[in-house]
Amino acid sequence: MVRTQKQLCEFPVDALPDKIRPYIQATAESLQVSVDMVATFVIAIISLCVQGKYRIQVKPDWEEPVNLYAVVVMRPSERKSPTLKMVSAPVFEYMEEENERRQPEISENETKKKILTGQITNISRKIAGSYKKKDSEYTMSDLLECQEELRKLEEEGLKELKLIVDDVTPEALVSTMKENDDRIGIVSAEGGIFGTMAGRYNDHTNIDIFLKGYSGEYYSTARIGRQGNTLKHPLITIVLAVQPQVICDIMDNKEFSGRGLLARFLYSIPNSLVGSRKYRTEPVNKALKEDYNNLIKDLFKTNEMDFERTIHLSEEADLQSEIYNQQIERRLTDDLEQIEEWAGKLHGNTMRIAAIFHIVKYGWDAVNVPLEAETLAGAIKVGQYYLEHSKAAFDMMGLSDPQDVKDAKYIISRIETRDKCDKRDKTITKRDLLRLCRQFSTVEEMEPGLQVLVEHGYIAIKKEKPARGGRVSEQIYINPAYYQWKEEQRK
């Protein structure tokens, strides 16, 4: 059932804009990592810089925001963390500089809030004490005026800038976005956010904000005993670097695939360089690093834009977009049928990438220049790269498998998680296994998956009668070689 990972196509470096291509290549060479990983990180980080500031008009009744959800899948020894740290460093530098600049005004606002809170308490007490008298020092209008001023300070006053979060609950994420113009970035060299979505902290899957944060849909919450939050145009950029096992584990959560969360991600599975990496390498040229840092910070400074600008296509790019869309459409009922939901978003994601390339090329002037056919052609090349890699990712997740193979992978994963004791002579009865596998109602529903496991040598099933008598039970023996293979995969 485990497919041998084939060599996938390499990232089309020639499709990248001139302003970022040299930096991406130099970083990959310096760190001895795949250019695929660096390119995916850089494109996603740039999308974080410009989300909520630009949109691209695909056609008159169809616009796309420019934020991306991206996942790079690689083994632990592939230097994911150092690469992501280097590429995202300018974001943290900008955040630190901006918060230092904001600090005096933030402190002043906090002082005003404390004064207003004290005034509200004082006025309320005095009005209550002289309620039946006519000589009150304050009126209800005074109280309402102070309350309104406090509300404005809390909602509109300058706050600390938070561009990136990592380990965060959905509820905390919404609150943070509320304070940051409805935008946020999730950047991590781990896949912990998937565990959070699956209910690590509250035992139930909560992915609504991640679904709506991809497309900028209106989001509102209301909770008993708590003040709700409303986000008019929520936008999230997600940049993750995860191990293959994380991708495989995602399969266990049916809501992720059933509600389209996994279809929103661009997947990159770079070919490994482990075993052929050099030790002596040239560091990234100082000028290239400065150019990249300045680009990121300049794009963030478009925060001064008070509404989203729309990027339009040139006539040639518009025709090219139509041809590309129809090519994908015809394949949705053919070779792309197994990943239809993901492939259905490929055109939109490609247009987002094209907009990012256009913004990199023209900066603040991006809305005054139509997006050129050459830029869209480069984005289409990148889209085709993500198509091949995403097909491989869905294979890893088992989402393109027949149902009996999906069931088999689910069953063996549940067997593995039941305990951590010695696995050399592990057995379990079918009835005990049914209690572990909550997606099945009866033993009969498990049978197709069990037969796949038997056929592939993962398990053996024998009917046994207890030593002290009683009902015959079907005992499942797990092949010790499976656990040995799992240990080797973790190394």
Residues 216 and 355 in one domain: yes
Structure tokens at 296: 């990121």
| 468 φ, ψ (degrees, to nearest 5) | -95, 15
Tens of pLDDT along the chain (491 residues) come to: 554 456 899 999 999 999 999 999 999 999 999 999 999 999 999 999 999 999 999 999 999 999 999 999 988 889 999 999 999 999 999 999 988 988 888 888 889 889 988 888 888 888 877 765 566 677 788 888 888 888 888 777 778 888 998 878 888 899 899 888 899 999 998 878 887 887 665 556 678 999 999 999 999 876 544 566 889 999 999 999 988 878 777 766 777 877 889 999 999 999 989 889 999 999 999 999 999 999 999 998 865 556 679 999 999 999 999 999 999 999 998 889 889 999 999 999 999 999 999 999 999 889 999 999 999 999 999 999 999 999 988 887 766 667 788 788 888 878 876 654 444 457 888 888 888 887 888 989 999 999 999 999 999 998 877 666 667 778 888 888 887 777 766 55
Residue 108 lies in a domain: no
Residues 173 and 215 in one domain: yes
- Residue after which a domain boundary falls, among 362, 379, 397: 397
Q: Where are the alpha helices (DSSP H) in 301-429?
A: 315-331, 340-343, 346-362, 373-397, 403-417
Residues 350 and 441 in one domain: no
Residues 419 and 372 in one domain: no
Residue 449 lies in a domain: yes
303 Cβ contact partners less than 8 Å away, ≥ 6 residues apart: 53
Residues 444 and 387 in one domain: no
Q: How many structural domains comprise the chain?
A: 2
Q: Of 323, 303, 395, 406, nearest to 48 (Cα)?
A: 303
Residues 277 and 393 in one domain: yes
What is the spatial distance between Cα 296 and Cα 94, in angstroms, rounded to a whole number?
9
Residues 390 and 410 in one domain: no
Between helix 21-31 and helix 286-300 the angle, nearest 10°, is: 120
Residue type, 337: E
What is the spatial distance between Cα 216 and Cα 401, in angstroms, rounded to a whole number?
32
Residues 388 and 477 in one domain: no
CATH number at residue 299: 3.40.50
Half-sphere exposure of 249 (CA within 13 A, CB side): 14
Residues 166 and 202 in one domain: yes
Residue 106 lies in a domain: no
Residues 385 and 412 in one domain: no
DSSP per position, 216-237? T--EE--BTTB---EESS-EEE
Residue owning tokens 């909770």: 223
Residue 144 lies in a domain: no
- Residue after which a domain boundary falls, among 382, 397, 412: 397
Residue 99 lies in a domain: no
- Residue after which a domain boundary falls, among 362, 397, 432: 397
Residue 149 lies in a domain: no
Residues 363 and 447 in one domain: no
Q: For residue 350, what are the domain limits?
A: 13-77+161-397
Q: How many CB atoms lie within 10 A of CB 403?
A: 9
| 19 φ, ψ (degrees, to nearest 5) | -70, -20
Residues 377 and 413 in one domain: no
- In 98-168, at which residue ranges do the beta strands (DSSP E only) sit? 164-165
Q: Phi/psi zone of residue 233: left (φ > 0), alpha (ψ -120 to 50 degrees), beta?
A: beta
Residue 440 lies in a domain: yes
Residue 121 lies in a domain: no
CATH number at residue 468: 1.10.10
